Amino acid sequence: MDIVSPALDDYLLAHCTPADDILRDLVEETHALVPGTSMQITHDEGEFLTMLVRLTGARTAVEVGVFTGYSSVCIARGLPADGRLIACDISEEWTSVARRYWQRAGLTDRIDLRLAPADETLRALPGEPFVDFAFIDADKEGYPTYYEELVPRLRPGGLLVLDNVLRTGRVVDPEAQSPADVAIRRINDRITADDRMQSVMLPLRDGVTLARKRT
């Protein structure tokens, strides 16, 4: 199921701030390493993340799922010069690509890469609310755990963004029962019922949920 008509893809991408050479080169290298990959966010979603970070005035951000670093660049660019992004991943191979592009973008001092299972990294963070912005785009079965670890650490008014919440439409297909699909349905329902959060689900690419912690 196409959430947005493929005929509109080029039009959408042509009508947001264009990618610079760093992001274009990162896309090209990533697709050369993993042809046809869907693990990297699209440019319009990247611009959306940068804008959200700037609009929220975030200074401390957390990312769960780095891959080759496209979303990390977009989030870190939205932070102030003294901002900090805690980037969680388990792959030395893919994050080695990310590190090169962080350096090229002049963002190395803003990004703190934690190579370990994300649930362990999140549990090791301070328990009090200190996170302004968080982005989850990792293994889908882990979303419920990552959500429950991040929400208590979000400051009042902090924003949590979750990617791939529509699973190309499988969230409304009762026959789609893979562990990943079940986990996404579970977290979608959990967010809606969570009195701590105010949320909206957007049909951006494969579905993006914005969940703001109530003050």
Residues with Cβ within 8 Å of 5's Cβ and at least 6 positions away in sequence, in order, are: none
Any idea what DSSP says for residue 197?
E
pTM: 0.95
Q: Coil, helix or strand for 18? A: coil
Short-list 158, 165, 196, 138, CA closest to 146:
138
CA distance 38 to 99: 20
Which two three-digit tokens encode residue 158? 């902090």
DSSP code string of 118-132: HHHHHHHS-SSS-EE
Q: Are 59 and 85 in contact (CB under 8 A)?
A: no
Encode the chain (215 residues) as per-residue pLDDT tens digits: 566 677 788 888 889 999 999 999 999 999 999 887 777 899 999 999 999 999 999 999 999 999 999 999 999 999 999 999 999 999 999 999 999 999 999 999 999 999 999 999 999 999 999 999 999 999 999 999 999 999 999 999 999 999 999 999 999 999 989 999 999 999 999 999 999 999 999 999 999 999 999 97
Q: Are strands 60-64 and 84-89 parallel, antiparallel or unpaired?
A: parallel
